[in-house]
Amino acid sequence: MKTWHDIVPRILQGDTEVINNLYREYRLPFIQWVRQQYGVPEDIAIELFQVAMVILYDNVMSGKLTELSSNPSTYLFQIGRNKALEYHRKQRRWATGELNDTVLEYLTQEVGDDKDAVEEEYLLVDEGMQQLGEPCRSLIYGFYVKKMSMEALSVQLDYKNADTVKNMKYKCLQRLRKICQDLKDEKREG
């Protein structure tokens, strides 16, 4: 790849080599990153990369993206982040029989079919998770997103046993609930 500054003009000129080079250069790092950061299965990670490439191309062709002000990986990975979060939202929404086990359901009250309310609650929980810190973030993520057992989490997080993890998970969820309530109160006041 010559430089990332000339990517948009080259795509607009129909240069397929630039797309092929982007695909080859960023495919593996993207897939590894999205799997590690967002715990998606490999087939979903591959699909997310392909979606990110299509969005990049479409945004250039439609004029939404007129220049890359940073490395293309930054642009692709941001799309990947958004799509991975969207994937998890859909998984939570449509999971049968597991809705009561999700962090979202644990932290929020009944919101019914109001998609905007569900989305708002999800974003609130996501923001709360970012503020939560370690080891709580890894514990909650491992249990609710990766669907890891208490035993597996005790090994991964180096806890004494599954009971210790269970107690820690309860404390972490209480802390997350408080953070989310504080965020909710801030938004109402602001």
The per-residue pLDDT for range 137-155, each reduced to its tens digit, is: 888 888 877 788 888 888 8
Buried b / exposed e across 51-75, counting CB within 10 Å, b at 16+? bbbebbeebbeeeebeebeeebbeb
CA distance 127 to 190: 16
Query: Cβ distance 141 to 93 under 8 Å?
Result: no
**Is 0.85 topped by the overall pTM?**
no
The CATH code of domain 99-189 reads 1.10.10
pLDDT at 28: 95
At 55-91, the pLDDT tens digits run 888 888 888 888 887 888 888 998 988 888 888 777 6
pLDDT at 93: 54
Of 62-76, 106-120, 138-152, 167-181, give the lowest mean pLDDT range. 106-120
Question: In terms of CATH architecture, what is 4-94?
Answer: Orthogonal Bundle (1.10)
Residues carrying CATH 1.10.10, the chain = 99-189
Q: Token digits for 147?
A: 């669907």
Q: What is the mean pLDDT of the chain?
A: 80
CA distance 46 to 66: 26
